[in-house]
Every structure is written in structure tokens, then in C-alpha cells.
Amino acid sequence: MEALDYHAEERRKAEFDLEEMKIVWAGSRQNYEISDRMARLVASDPVFRKDNRTMLSRKDLFKDTLRKAAHAWKRIIELRLSEEEAHMLRSYVDQPAFTDLHWHEKWLPMAYKMQIIGCYAQTELGHGSNVQGLETTATFDPQTDEFVIHSPTLTSSKWWPGGLGKVSTHAVVYARLITGAQDHGVHGFIVQLRSLDDHSPLPGITVGDIGMKFGSGAYNSMDNGLLRFDHVRIPRNQMLMRVSQVTREGKFVQSDVPRQLVYGTMVYVRQTIVSDASCALARAVCIATRYSAVRRQFGSQNGGPETQVIDYKTQQSRLFPLLASAYAFRFVGEWLKWLYADVTQRLQANDFSTLPEAHACTAGLKSMTTSVTADAIEECRKLCGGHGYLSNSGLPELFAVYIPTCTYEGDNVVLLLQVARFLMKTVSQLGSGKKPVGTTAYMGRAEHLMQCRCEVERAEDWLKPSVILEAFEARAFRMSIACAKNLSKFSNPEGGFSELSPDLLEAAIAHCQLIVFSKYIEKLQQDIPGKGVKRQLEILCNVYALHLLHKHLGDFVTTSCITPKQGALANEQLRLLYSQVRPNAITLVDAFNYTDHYLGSVLGCYNGNVYQRLYEEAWKDPLNDTVVPDGYLEYVRPILKQHIRTARL
């Protein structure tokens, strides 16, 4: 690391213990140590270099990805890394690869040893969100005790599965199960796609990559694939039979295991997505914050330095809520880990009572955190002005690689509508004596939430967590009640749901924001050691809540949860909070403990030596390999010469 630290002065201003904050961010001292070790291991290994990634052709990028995946696998074995360490190492390699999906699935011991490579093939060219609309068929043949997997139409071609295009040897394929003449809906089947000897597709299988995706580098390291089956036969025991089975005689048997069992896996996957959202958001915020402290514009007094752009209130009001959101998502992600453990324990005890609520809650949090993060990365790019648009700012690639998260594992709008459906069901059961559980428990205080009035009189009253919490609960509840009332006016409930879906979406968002805020408050009730650490987290918690209140003021006022005057007081308090965040901003992003390698950003480098590095990076561009570009003689010179002749005439 270069000796000069352009952020040294900023770092001296911090009012809290950085090392303790790093542990809070990581979740525990052990997590911190593992994460720190793995990040350094990756950063110091030349194979994991990524600074030229956006300039590689697709073919070279893909080969580079295979090389990194193989090298990571080798290092994991050589160093005998634990599963947790291996996971960390892969995430710091920071290049989407077939291994992401493979590990995701964890279905077979063979897969663990990497003797086969798996992918998850659900989506088709014609159908994604509507899983029940899938067209691929799996027809049971009782003569041979096999399923025949077939793609009957062009739109039934599998389309998008990660790792499918070029690498996977096997896939979990979702197809319509047909026995006799009966269609039993969509089920999963394990299908071998490629030879384990020479990797060529097996007979009846057409497979390839779907093509270049958004951005340079980014998700193009992944071989999202297309797949067609022409009457491919697989043994009967390759159907995934936990929820339903097909017997040797071809009888379809629905087991008594509830279908909701699959919710357990969904809770797990979505919990990791929320946790990844906090990482991606923190990364963008770290870059924008460090750069905002280096960048100066206007305000020079008597020839002195200009103003750091981080000192502009507009910059703070765009940046600090994102910083606060990164911490808020971190804590809700931590809580989701607990929720997953709780759900798993209950499933083992055959207790399915909390599953629908856990499912709705994780669907909503996946949607909300990923949408906010995607928008926030773009906002961070803008916060970095022109230089944010340079590839080496790290932000364009981060944006390109992140945004599909809003679509995969459930389109964000479709997920929020599921949450809204659950909220409407919960509201409809309120009078029946069925108590709302978990994150909907607040709805049990219906009478109070419909009547309560916010008591804020001065700006500082907005610092009380109980005051903000009540305002958020009342707003979320009243929005749900308003939707339920409007829905009841429709004679056809489905028609009404569709007509009111934009309002329902907003009610679902209000509910999700309440969850994130309330989990942040719960975190603050824990013992948090370290000088000033809890204080900083309290300030950020208030920033998180009050910026949402300001942004959604219309919701709060139209539901009469607060008055316009109270809204103005909240905004006044928010401004004061920004001033408290300001001296700590750089150290709050240092607490993410990201290496320069992982950040991959000239603007976000630890020591803030931005201009020197921008200058050096420019000269590394292949266009600057020669002073006169290729094509000059053919295309530029003739024009110039003609201009000269014209000028002489």
C-alpha cells in the first residue's frame, strides 16, 4: 500500500472504534477474521486479478472465469478450507461463475466432489414467472420404467439457467409430469446433459449459451444457457420425489409432506440474496463516499482549497441514506439467518405454522432490498460525477452485474404482489381470532393502529425509536386496510386485485420497510461494545427511518399518521443527523473492510490517491498502445487530406 493517505485527516475525525464496528458489520469476531483472511488471500493472488476484465472479449472472459473457478477449487482443497471459508473465498473472487449455481444446489455427494457440475433449469423462452405455464414434458413410460423428457415447442426451450450454456454436466430440469394421459403439473428431474468423458452433449440434447448480456465483464462471465430435449430418456429414480412420487406401475402419489416444504429452501436462498444486497450496496457507497471526500468543487476562499463535495448538503442527502440502508440491510440479513434456522427447526418438528409468514417476509425483503440496491448503485455512479462513468470507477460493472438480482429468484414486482396477497389474507382474518404472527404481529393491535396520533412537537422528538416505529406501523397497517376496503368493492376479487395492484404494491413496500426498521431497532437493543459504536448505529438508524418518512411523506400524511408539520420537523431532524454522520462517513465505510482488489475502483481506493491512479489507468487502455490508432491511414487521413484540398480551392 502506498504510504500517502489522502483520507488520513478524515479518518482522524471518527468518533467511534473502527475495529469494533468492523466486527458489528461482519456479524461476529470469527466472521470478521475469516472474511479478512479470505479477502487478503484473494487480493494477493495474481490469478484472481480482475482489473482488465471489462476489456476482455466474451470468449477470453469466459476462459478466465473457468481458470479462476478451477484455481479457487484448487486453493480450497490445498488450504483445507471450511465450507464457510470456501464460500467467502469464492465471493471475494467476485466473478459470477457456474460454481455459484452448482454450490447453490448442493444436491449430491458427487456434486460436492465436483465430479459432476449441476445447474437449475426452470425458466423457458416463453415462461419464467409463471412456473405453472412451463411446457417441457416428462412422460412416464411404464414399459421401460423411464421418463421421456421432451421440448414440444420453441417456447419450451430452457432459457437462462446459469452454468448451463457451456459447463454443466447435469441439470435439475422442471417439466410437466405426465402419467397415462394425465398432467400432474410441474416437477423436478435430474437429467445428465453432457458426457463425463468428452463433455459433448448426450443424444437428444441441444445446448448452448444464450449470448452476450448487459454491460462489459459483469454477468457475461456466466454461461446462461439454452436447452432443448428430443425425447431424452432418464430412469424413474431421477425424479425429485420428496413431495410426490411416481410408482413402478406409473401411479402418481402425492405424499403427505406439505408442498410448503419448498418454502424452507426459498427462505435460505432469499436470505443470502438480502445479505448480498447489503454487500453490493456497501461497496457502491464505499466508493462514492471515499471519492466524495477527495473531490472538490467550488467554494475556494482566498485561493484556499475548494469545498469537498461530501460537504454539500445535497450530496449528503443522497449519499448518507444509502450508507444507512447498507447497515440496515446488513442487520435484517443477519436476522434472516436466524429466521432460516428457526424455520428449519420447526420443519424438523413438523410445525408448518410460521412458514407462510416467513415465506412472505423473505419474498418482500428480497424484492425491497435488491430494488433499492440496484437504484443505489446507479445513484452512487451519479454521486461520482463524470469519473463515475469510467469503467475503472468499478460502478458500471457493479451495476451491470447486480441488476439481474431484481429479476432472478422471483421478479421483484411478482414477489411484492405475493406479499400483498398475504397481507390481504392476514387483514381478512383479523376478526376471526387468528392472531397474526412474526413480522405481521403488529396487525394484531388493529384498533390502536387505526386511532393513534403521532405526538411529535419538536424536531428532536423524531429521535425516539418508539415514535418512529408507531408511525411506520400505523402507515403500513392503514395502507393495507385501505387496500382491503377497496378490494371489497369488487364483485370479482381477482379482478379487483389486478385493478388495485399498484396500491397493493405500495402497501407491501410499506410493510417491508417497517420490517427492516424494526429489525434495526432490535439490533440496537443488543449489547454492542466499542467506544461510540452504538451511537453511530443509532444515528444511522434514524437516518434510515427519517429519509424513508421524508421520501414517502404522502403515505404518512394521507393515512393521517402524521401531519404535514410533523413531516417538516422530521426533515429538519434529518438535516441535523447528516451533520452528525459527516465526520464519521469515511470510517463508517472503512468498517466494511473491503480490500482495494474487491472494490475494483480507482475512485474508491483506500488511500484516496484518485487522480494519480486515474491518470495511470488511462495509459493502460489498449487504445493508448500506439499514438496513432489503427484505421488512421484508411479512414482519418483521407478525410483530412480532402479537407486540406477543399480549403485550398
Q: Give the phi and the psi of residue 350 in degrees, each rounded to 5.
A: 55, 30
Residues 92-111 that bind ligand FAD (CB under 6 A): 101
The least distance separating ligand FAD from the CB of residue 504, rounded to whole angstroms, comes to 10
**Residues forming beta bridges with residue 171, ordered by sequence position:** 119, 191
The answer to whether the CB of 159 falls within 8 A of the CB of 183 is no
Alpha carbon separation from 41 to 61, 66, 86 (Å, rounded): 22, 19, 11
Sequence-distant (6+) residues with CB within 8 A of 115 are 196
The least distance separating ligand FAD from the CB of residue 505, rounded to whole angstroms, comes to 9
The least distance separating ligand FAD from the CB of residue 498, rounded to whole angstroms, comes to 8
Sequence-distant (6+) residues with CB within 8 A of 330 are 25, 275, 278, 282
Give 368 or 443: the residue with its C-beta nearer to ligand FAD.
368
Give 165 or 333: the residue with its C-beta nearer to ligand FAD.
165
- What residues are labeled active site? 409
The answer to whether the CB of 571 falls within 8 A of the CB of 550 is yes
| Residue 411 contacts ligand FAD per CB under 6 A | yes
CA distance 557 to 572: 17
Q: Would the annotation count 162 as a binding residue?
A: yes
CA distance 253 to 248: 11
The answer to whether the CB of 166 falls within 8 A of the CB of 223 is yes
Which one among 107, 352, 408, 606 touches ligand FAD, defined by CB under 6 A? 408
- Closest of 195, 182, 108 to residue 138, by C-alpha: 182
Question: Which residue sits closest to ligand FAD, CB atoms considered?
Answer: 128
Binding footprint of ligand FAD, residue count (CB under 6 A): 19
Residues 133-172 that bind ligand FAD (CB under 6 A): 160-162
Q: Which helix (H) or strand (E) holds 415?
A: helix 412-428
Q: Would the annotation count 123 as a binding residue?
A: yes
Q: CB atoms < 10 A from the CB of 48, how many?
A: 21
Give 159 or 472: the residue with its C-beta nearer to ligand FAD.
159
Give 149 or 537: the residue with its C-beta nearer to ligand FAD.
149
Which one among 224, 271, 367, 373 touches ligand FAD, defined by CB under 6 A? 224
| Residue 269 contacts ligand FAD per CB under 6 A | no
The distance from CA 592 to its chain's CA centroid, rounded to whole angstroms, is 17
Residues 420-459, one symbol each (x = binds ligand FAD by CB under 6 A, - = not), give ----------------------------------------
The answer to whether the CB of 163 falls within 8 A of the CB of 124 is no
| Residue 413 contacts ligand FAD per CB under 6 A | yes
Q: Helices 313-348 and 564-581: crossing angle, nearest 10°?
A: 100
Binding window for ligand FAD (CB under 6 A); candidates: 114-122, 266-274, 327-335, 511-519: 114-122
The least distance separating ligand FAD from the CB of residue 159, rounded to whole angstroms, comes to 8
Residue 390 grid coordinates: 469510467
Q: CB atoms < 10 A from the CB of 619, how many?
A: 8
Which one among 186, 310, 390, 417 touches ligand FAD, defined by CB under 6 A? 417
Binding window for ligand FAD (CB under 6 A); candidates: 69-77, 271-279, 408-416, 440-448: 408-416
The least distance separating ligand FAD from the CB of residue 96, rounded to whole angstroms, comes to 8
β-pair type (118-121, 170-179): parallel
Contact footprint for ligand FAD (CB under 6 A): 101, 120-123, 128-129, 160-162, 219, 224, 404, 407-408, 411, 413-414, 417
**Binding-site residue set for FAD:** 123, 162
**Binding-site residue set:** 123, 162
